[in-house]
Amino acid sequence: MSDWQRRVVVFSRRHDLLGEPSTHALDLLSEVGEVAKELLLGSDYGRRPLQIRPELAGELGDALYSLLALMEACNVDASSALDTALGKYEQRLAERGDAGSRGVEPERPSECQPECQKECQRGEAPSDRL
Inside any domain, residue 9: yes
The answer to whether position 34 is within a domain reads: yes
Mean of pLDDT over the chain: 86
CATH of the domain at 30: 1.10.287.1080
pLDDT score at 126: 54
| 43 within domain boundaries | yes
pTM above 0.75, yes or no: no
Residue 114's pLDDT band (boundaries 50, 70, 90)? low
Structural domain count of the chain: 1
State the amino acid at position 33 in one-letter form: G
Tell me whether residue 33 is in a domain: yes
Q: Which residues contact 67 (CB under 8 A, 6 or more apart)?
A: 28
Question: Is residue 54, in this structure, part of any structural domain at all?
Answer: yes
**Res. 105: pLDDT tops 70:** no
The answer, yes or no, to whether residue 71 has pLDDT greater than 90, is: yes
How far is residue 111's CA from residue 126's CA, in Å, rounded to a whole number? 11
Question: Can you tell me the mean pLDDT for 23-38?
Answer: 98
Residue 30 lies in a domain: yes
Task: Provide the residue range defining the domain that includes 28.
Answer: 3-81
CA distance 10 to 15: 9
50 within domain boundaries: yes
Task: Spell 35-57 as b/e; 16+ CB within 10 A means b.
Answer: beebbeebeeeeeeeeeeeeebe
